[in-house]
């Protein structure tokens, strides 16, 4: 159940935040949110997370679909620890959020701008945080066999 709650909540937050940016910003427009540390900058990203590999939409759509289906299947098929359900929900929500953008718009809406890192969105954060936590969990808490 935690998988679905996490996935739906994060996906909704991702899509609502992107809708808000598009409704209130022009492409390339930027405003400081936390002084020099964080800006909101509307970017149309045609690459992968953080803008890498631009123009490879079919590759990213296929990869995202494999991740989404694979993790959903795994969650439904196997008894999964509560924390792992949350981690997997984060990854699926992020993959699905950017997948929706790519299908609907042919690009991903990004807006968090640290100035020293490529512009990103909530879906990117969900994939990175969920993936890192899942890897740490696998290394430190999963039993062999």
Active site residues: 110, 124
Please tell me the number of Cα atoms within 13 Å of 30 on its side-chain side. Answer: 16
DSSP 51: G
Contact 29, 40 (CB under 8 A): no
Angle, vertex CA 60, rays to CA 65 and CA 26, nearest 5: 115
Contact 108, 49 (CB under 8 A): no
H-helix segments, the chain: 2-24, 57-77, 82-105, 122-140
Contact 95, 121 (CB under 8 A): no
């Amino acid at each position: 159940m935690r998988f679905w709650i996490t996935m739906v909540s994060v996906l909704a937050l991702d899509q609502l935040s992107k809708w808000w940016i598009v409704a209130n910003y022009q492409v390339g427009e930027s405003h400081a949110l936390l002084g020099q540390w964080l800006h909101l900058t509307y970017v149309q990203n045609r690459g992968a997370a953080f803008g890498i590999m631009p123009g490879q939409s079919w590759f990213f759509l296929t990869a995202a679909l494999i991740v989404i289906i694979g993790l959903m299947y795994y969650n439904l098929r196997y008894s999964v620890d509560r924390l792992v359900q949350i981690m997997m929900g984060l990854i699926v929500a992020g993959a699905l959020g950017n997948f929706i953008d790519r299908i609907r718009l042919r690009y991903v809406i990004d807006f968090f701008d640290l100035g020293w890192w490529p512009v990103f969105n909530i879906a990117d954060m969900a994939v990175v945080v969920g993936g890192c936590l899942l890897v740490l969990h696998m290394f430190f808490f999963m039993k062999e066999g």
